Copies of this chain bind each other. A is one copy, B any other.
Amino acid sequence: MPRFRLLIEYDGGGFVGWQHQRNGMSVQEAIETAIERLSGQKVRLHAAGRTDAGVHALGQVAHVDLERAWPGDTVRDALNHFLRPHPAAILEAGMVDDGFHARISARRRSYLFRLLERRAPPMVDRGRVWHVGRPLDLAAMQAGARQLVGRHDFTTFRAAECQALSPVKTLDRLAVARVGAEIRIEADARSFLHHQVRNMVGTLKLVGDGKWTPDDVGKALARRHRAAGGPTAPPEGLYLVSVGYLDDGTELSVNQE
């Protein structure tokens, strides 16, 4: 059967997360239902990464096998029609090689986390940023972030429910920058542990608040125990920006400002 790759955007606030849940609409269920309305097939959609409730995606990738070799643009437009009113959209759809697997073939995941420093709560970006309400120490956060880049046992930043086989991951990039009244944290790795980005962000916020020194981040990492890390940052500031693949020589991504 023809395999299709989908590039997906969603507002995480409108879903219980990527994965099927009994207690509400998941992104997976919304798109699988739209595919059934298009094709008549009951399908299983496989994503590059399962995002939690409230976490947004600008460039999630998933694959699905359909019986017909529809034109990609037809699949995109029809799914966007059937997805209404759910806050998810198919940005691109196209046939790919049978060997492509959205999760297994992925070589890079890129996340963005936005923290709003100003005192007043966000209105235009409500549900899109973590409102921390006061300025953070950017340089200290940058120094703390440097302690996490590289190949490490990230148990300190791993959720108890994490199903990864190993806690050892290579964090390729963890950049902290100020943009207007926001701190933006960008994280790139081949893969992440469950809650790893949110737990790293929650810890770096302690550094930004002056409660931790940058060196405390490295010490917490070395402890290899979740209790040694900072709290989990809320989901609404987190975006799955893009997923990179080598298999077809291209990298699926969306432009970021």
Contacts and interface: CB of A to CB of B under 8 A. Distances in A.
Contacts of A179: 255, 257
Contact of A120 (B76, B87, B122, B124): B76
Interface of A: 9-11, 56, 58, 73, 76-77, 80, 87-91, 118-124, 126, 128, 179-181, 239, 254-257
B255 A123 contact: no
B254 A123 contact: no
Contacts of A257: 179-180, 257
A84 to B, nearest CB: 9
A120 B256 contact: no
Nearest to A255: B180
A89 B181 CA distance: 15
B121 A80 contact: yes
B180 A126 contact: no
A250 B82 CA distance: 51
Given A80-B121, A89-B121, A126 B11 contact: yes
A254 B119 CA distance: 13
B119 A77 contact: yes
A237 to B, nearest CB: 12
B180 A254 contact: yes
A180 B256 contact: yes
Nearest to A89: B120
Contacts of A77: 119
B124 A128 contact: yes
10 contacts: A9-B122, A9-B123, A11-B123, A11-B124, A58-B124, A76-B119, A88-B123, A89-B122, A89-B123, A179-B255
